[in-house]
Amino acid sequence: MRNHGRTLALLLPACFLLAACGSHDQTMYKGVTYPPTNQVRAAFQASQVPDSCRVFAQALMITPAEFSGKDIDQAVSKEAEARGANMVLIGRSRRSKEGDALTFHYYGPKQAYPISSWLGWQYGAEEWEQQGEWVDFGYNQWNNNTVRYDYPIVMHVAFLRCQ
C-alpha cells in the first residue's frame, strides 16, 4: 500500500504537467522580445509602414465594453511598448462575444519578418470567425475620447520594430 502512495505522489504532478502542455494559452506572449520602448506610432494600412520595419507580434486584442477610441489607443500602445514595438499596425474590428477584461491573444510569429512579407490579417481565423458584426474603427476613432463603444470589441493588431 505504501508503494501506491509513492507512485500516486509521483504521477499526480506529472499529470498536471502533461495537461498544461496540452493546452496553448494564447494570452501568454512567447514571441520575439525587444527592450521596452516609450512611444509607438500607429498605422492603419501596411502600405503606411516603412520598409525598415519587422513584424514580431500578431494578436487579437479584446476590449471590455465602454472603451473609448482613446482607451483603445492607450491599451494597444502600452502593450506594444512593453513588448518593444515602436510601431503598431491596426487591423479589422468586430463585436466580441467575450470581453469582461482587456486581453491580447497572441498568434506568433516565431521569428520577426519584414513588413514586405506581410500576409494580412489571416492569423487567429478560428477565433475571429466566431465574433459578431463588423465595427467601424480606424484613424478617426484612434485616440478619440468622444468615440465610445458600448460593447466589447475584438481587433487585429500587429507590433513592429522599425530601424
**Statement: residue 7 has pLDDT above 60:** no
Which of 57, 70, 74, 73 lies closest to 124 in space, CA to CA?
57
pTM passes above 0.85 = no
Q: What is the pLDDT of residue 31?
A: 87
Cα separation, 63 vs 100, whole angstroms:
8
Identify the helix (H) or strand (E) that includes residue 21. helix 2-22
What single DSSP character describes residue 52?
T
**37-79, pLDDT tens digit by residue?**
999 999 999 999 999 999 999 999 999 999 999 999 999 999 9
CB neighbour burial string for 39-71, b if at least 16 within 10 angstroms, e if fewer = ebebbbebeebeeebbbbbbbbbbbbeebbbbb
Residue 150: count of CB within 10 angstroms of its CB: 7
**Statement: residue 34 has pLDDT above 80:** yes
Residue 119: count of CB within 10 angstroms of its CB: 11
**Statement: residue 110 has pLDDT above 70:** yes
